[in-house]
Amino acid sequence: MEINETLSESTSTRKATYAFAALSLLVLGFFVFFMSNIALYASVLSASIGDAYFFLFYRNSAWRKNSRFKSRFPGKGSNKGIPMIYFIVLGSPTVVLIFLGIYRLLSGSLIMILLNSIMVYGFSVTLFFATFTIPLAIAHSKDEKMEEMNAENHYHPLVSILIPAYNEEKVISRSIESLLELEYDRKEIIVIDDGSKDRTAMLVSHYAHAYPNIVKLLRRPNGGKARAMNYGLLFARGDIVVMMDADSCLDRDAVARIVSIMSNKNIHAVCGNVEALNRTSMLTKCQALEYITSENLLRSSLARPGAIAVLPGAFSACRREDFLKLGSYDPDNIAEDFDLTIKLHKVFARSGKLEATSVGTAYTEVPPNLRSLYRQRMRWYLGAFQAMAKHKDVYLERKYGLLHSIIYPTITLSLILPFATFASIISGIILMLNGEGIIFLSILALFILVQLFVSLLAISLDRGGKGHIDGYSLAWYSIFLSIGYRQIIDSFAITAILRFLFSSKTRKSLSWTRSERVGVAAASR
């Protein structure tokens, strides 16, 4: 009966996804054809080249070994090289611009031609990052459904769930309650109180006394999240360790799904599906949609080969024996989850992989205001730069597999995105002021349409095809992911890049910051 229901749900989900995909291709194709704009053609064509490259890369059975799409420009007699993706994503817009003769076909002064070229180039890169994940995520969704139905049921190890907590009295009870309600019974919940000054320890001790065989409270002086996690690992007995933030709560089947995936011994770690819990304002709803269309969709799209960039602290899992091999978390890195992920890829580049699930879902609080959002993104960006600088050998070493050929290039290229977006908008505004705004407005309209359809497709794929708990209404906020919210996030990213590159004080004084807690009720799961 359950198999039939799963098949029925899977079929219904695929129909909705394929319907949105067909509709988006039809509408976007008609729009591009109707506008008859050479600049629009250039943007779409160059973005499509990058999309096609990624899709072929994805479908290639030897992707992990880099046998067909090898890195170019190798070093002397060594296994070094620059991944081809750099030349595809950055080179294809230039080639398309030249091939279509856009410099000749655009009338006007040299400065107008330059502004048009900057605008087209920027939108090409932006369109690529907005669209390349879609076909890959659809393919992964199909694979995930089949794997879920064929999963082994006899694998039932003890799972240790670690929750580092510092002044979390507003949210810790909600988190523990969600874990006690999990369908998976072989679990231990270990809360590491990292020198809290509020009632966090007292609240956890209540659960430890009520559920002595399940909930454990560990206390230590304040030393940061990484040290708290390492301390918790000393007491963890489970074969699988689940990492979870104190402000997160899980779906009832989340851990069971993680365990099911890790019944495959070649899977060393799994990242869960993370969604916004507090969706009460325009800012938090934009973040909720961003999590679905950017974070979750990206992880799903690159999960099949194992190109997982980050095991999120909100909800992810790793084998305890692998933790011991890696030397646990690095206390000196403020993006400890990213640093851990890099180390996993380095160690297991040729044996096994990292996975992602869209089924096992965690709900986490997102920053409720711009000040908290700024602090969160500064930690994310600066921590990522810190980790990549620490592991800079990955850039040229092919032996690190997907970390070298996909993950690092994708992150590095995404750093160009905020600059490209702002350059496109500024160029477009100048063109509008000079009476040549039709090109800019048509490309901007295309991008808004693309963002809308990406949002609809991402929502249809969310939570294993169940869709977002707010339904498709969240897709209306996609316009702010194009205009408004996007520029805020891009400005944060540019600030972080400039601070890291040009401020030695910033690099030397990086410290972990936490977002403001709201303490809203748990999601309806």
Residue 519: left if φ>0, alpha if ψ -120 to 50, beta else—which one?
left
Name the residue type at position 281.
S
Distance CA 246, CA 244 (A): 7
Q: Is the pLDDT of residue 214 over 70?
A: yes
Q: Could you tell me if 439 and 467 are in contact, meaning their C-beta atoms sit under 8 angstroms apart?
A: no
pLDDT at 495: 94
Q: Are strands 248-250 and 353-364 parallel, antiparallel or unpaired?
A: antiparallel
CB atoms within 10 A of CB 148: 16
* Nearest partner of 205 among 195, 215, 197, 196, judged by Cα: 215
- For residues 236 and 230, give the distance between their C-alpha atoms in angstroms, rounded to a whole number: 10
Q: What mean pLDDT do residues 70-91 have?
A: 68
Mean pLDDT throughout 26-47?
77
pLDDT digits (tens, 9 = 90+) for 111-146: 777 777 788 888 888 888 888 888 888 888 877 777
Q: Pick 146 or 274 by higher pLDDT.
A: 274
Q: What is the mean pLDDT of residues 8-19?
A: 61
- Which of residues 111 and 314 earns the better pLDDT score? 314
- In the prediction, which pLDDT does 102 show? 55
pLDDT digit string (tens) for 466-514?
Answer: 778 888 889 999 999 989 999 999 999 999 999 988 877 766 666 656 6
Residue 290 in this model has a pLDDT that exceeds 80 = yes
pTM: 0.87
> Across residues 79-107, what is the average pLDDT?
73
Determine the distance from the C-alpha atom of residue 77 to the mean position of all C-alpha atoms in its chain, rounded to a whole number.
36
